[in-house]
Amino acid sequence: MKIQKYLLCSALLVAANQGMAVQAPQMQEETDSSGIQHQYTGGWEYFVGGGVAVFDCNNDQYPDLYFAGGAAPAALYINQSTLGQALKFNKNLVSSLALEAVTGAYPLDIDNDGILDLAVLRVGENILFKGLGNCQFENANKEWGFDGGSAWTTAFAATWESDNSKPSLAFGNYVDRSLPGSPFGTCHDTDFYRPDGAGKYSLNTPLSPGYCSLSLLFTDWNRSGTPSLKIANDRQYYRGEGQEQLWKIPAGTAPSRYTAKEGWQRQRIWGMGIAAADLTGDGKPDYYVTSMADNKLSTLASADGTPNFKDIARVRGVTAHRPFVGSSVLPSTGWHAQFEDVNNDSFSDLFVVKGNVEAMSDFALLDPNNLFLGTPQGKFIESAETANLLSLHRGRGGSLVDLNLDGLLDVVVVNREQNAQLWRNLGAGSNNKSAAMGNWLGLKIVQPEGNNRNAIGAFIEVRVADRTQSREITVGGGHAGDKAHWHHFGIGVAERAVARVQWPDGKWSPWIRLFANQHARISRDKSTADTWLPFASAKKLAEQ
């Protein structure tokens, strides 16, 4: 059966999706009953940071949570939830990850052994932790030849270049407190590490000048096949020529910044977090960058491959420049941002974590997180209060992730000097929750042999009738944290879809047929997907 014929029956369903009213999911806060008791604390060095790494550390497919703690110890919480039920976590009391001075963390498989490792960011020495399985980790700085330095690190991203045995790593640093005139004009450079021929991180290239980065993302913004490094910088501390940055990272040669002569448009904002999604349907990522005051949503404006972007935040309704509740007209402060489909209608939604830096009187003190629901027309509708997601804590990091594997994305938020929060997505509040919110797919993309097992740098395409969703697989972005888990796609009322992958080397997989409401693994060496059913895991947990 040809793919076109296979999808013909879905054409009317796409039209039905576009005619559906935007429906907010019903979120139920389960912080108190979840077992999560954790705060991000400390003095001015911890006004920024406060991320959460979301990943499965014991191979049960349920995502676990590693919270930065700032001046308090970081904490690993193991997911004890069962399928579709209340969120439950147990703290790992003997974890080697329980360090102080942690600002954030990012999961990735550095040594290609199929077990996720962690890059832990700190005020002081950064640490690469090797995953040993069963949520056990060991410090691998010496083994992998990595000098963690002593900087104030607040951002991270990774990419695989050509056939290297390990990924290239970028660590974004904030203020250099040791220099005269600190903090103003004393931003550290970004550290860019490439593995050497022995797989050691002996090759560190400072990306200079640095302008106090708070988020990094390797991304193939023009689909050239070679990702660049996008950097969100905090203008609070840089001077002179400070601005947002985009670095060319050609394989095997020295990085260089894109300049105005090459089409780069100078932008000066309080850059805090980066989120990426293809909102325009052209197959290229668009970028949301959080800030103090109005946030930016950039889409590629040029047709000649130059990095000329235009801001469409106002047109799309996501400037989020002031609180949407209360009477304050003072500017907001945005931190973590993430595009996902929380109501499974096949249109990207946007979650923005907010919170005053500390007690900055020129900015809103009560600054709730935003949940913008995407519409078929391309605009977004603020829905956090409707979804029962209202919080007035000072947020920092966060994640949209399916914590109980029911096909509905739940919410995690890290707060400064307040307990982290969890909300469970109840769908529309009906008994048939997944159907009420639309159908979904959870995809895992793997390269079984060799390097880059999780296909970082690949693009996933999911197609229903004549509409295609495109997503780049990345490590980085957000604010001080990221997730490595099932790639979630809402597909609305469609009962089937097809998916394909453009692998990091540019080659394409065939279109692969998928049925709605299932988890499936797409492997490079197969022309069909392997489905995974969480019911067996739920039964196993119940029997323990």
Q: Look at residue 501 and tell me whether its pLDDT is greater than 60.
A: yes
Look up residue 70 and give its DSSP letter.
Answer: B
Contact between 32 and 38 (Cβ < 8 Å)? no
Q: Is the dihedral of CA 477, 481, 484, 489 positive or negative?
A: negative
Query: What whole-number distance in Å separates Cα of residue 246 and Cα of residue 259?
Result: 9
Query: What whole-number distance in Å separates Cα of residue 2 and Cα of residue 4?
Result: 5
Of residues 100, 122, 232, 216, the one with CA closest to residue 169 = 216
Local structure of 491: helix, strand or coil: strand
Percentage with pLDDT > 70 across the chain: 93
pLDDT tens per residue across span 505-514: 999 999 999 9
Query: Within 13 A of 424's CA, how many CA atoms are on the CB side?
Result: 21
Query: What whole-number distance in Å separates Cα of residue 58 and Cα of residue 407?
Result: 20
Task: Please compute the mean of the pLDDT values over residues 487-497 and round it to a whole number.
Answer: 97
Where residue 8 falls among pLDDT bands split at 50, 70, 90?
A: very low
Q: Which of 143-147, 169-173, 427-431, 491-495 has the lowest mean pLDDT?
A: 427-431
What pLDDT is recorded for position 86? 97
Query: What whole-number distance in Å separates Cα of residue 176 and Cα of residue 178?
Result: 6
Report CA-CA distances (Å) from 260 to 209, 267, 309.
Answer: 16, 11, 12
Query: What whole-number distance in Å separates Cα of residue 224 and Cα of residue 464?
Result: 26
What pLDDT is recorded for position 541? 40
Rg (CA), the chain: 22
pLDDT tens per residue across span 102-133: 999 999 999 999 999 999 999 999 999 999 99
pLDDT tens per residue across span 52-62: 999 999 999 99
Mean pLDDT of the residues in the chain: 92
Percentage with pLDDT > 90 across the chain: 86
What pLDDT is recorded for position 305? 84
The tokens describing 417, both together, are: 């000097």
Query: What whole-number distance in Å separates Cα of residue 468 and Cα of residue 494?
Result: 13
What pLDDT is recorded for position 3? 44
pLDDT tens per residue across span 260-295: 999 999 999 999 999 999 999 999 999 999 999 999
pTM equals 0.94
The tokens describing 387, both together, are: 């979804």
Task: Please compute the mean of the pLDDT values over residues 311-340 and round it to a whole number.
Answer: 96
- The phi and psi torsions of 131 (rounded to 5 degrees) equal -75, 130
